[in-house]
Amino acid sequence: DTGVSQNPRHKITKRGQNVTFRCDPISEHNRLYWYRQTLGQGPEFLTYFQNEAQLEKSRLLSDRFSAERPKGSFSTLEIQRTEQGDSAMYLCASNQRLGQQETQYFGPGTRLLVL
């Protein structure tokens, strides 16, 4: 399978705990994006990487959130001191620009529930 994979698929945690999610993009894709999606909304951009460089961060990404892509391959998203409002689906996507064409391919997401 050469699609985007995310682990874990589901995570239940208690408020105040730290959680870390992993995303493995499609191998030849140099761009990797993190999104958050809540019920009834579309995916909201959090941050993106081009190779290992984090190029843009949304104001949604508070200081409790940090993302890394150390070797330009997989990426991790960590949430520290989780709050109930962090409960959402966290989506990862990867893409590669070919000329003017750029298509994002999404992983299945990690559903986080903070109790």
Partner 1 sequence: DQQVKQNSPSLSVQEGRISILNCDYTNSMFDYFLWYKKYPAEGPTFLISISSIKDKNEDGRFTVFLNKSAKHLSLHIVPSQPGDSAVYFCAASAQGNQFYFGTGTSLTVIP
Residue whose CB is less far from partner 1, 17 or 103: 103
Q: Could you tell me if 68 and 48 are in contact, meaning their C-beta atoms sit under 8 angstroms apart? A: no
Q: Nearest distance from residue 81's CB to partner 1, in Å? A: 26
Residues binding partner 1: what is the number (CB under 8 A)? Answer: 30
Strands of the chain, DSSP E: 5-7, 10-13, 19-24, 31-37, 44-50, 53-57, 65-68, 75-79, 88-95, 97-98, 101-102, 105-106, 110-114
Assess 25 for contact with partner 1 (CB under 8 A): no
Assess 87 for contact with partner 1 (CB under 8 A): no
Residue whose CB is less far from partner 1, 42 or 70: 42
Residues at the interface with partner 1 (CB under 8 A)? 4, 6, 31, 33, 35, 40-45, 48, 55-56, 58, 91, 93, 95, 97, 100-109, 111
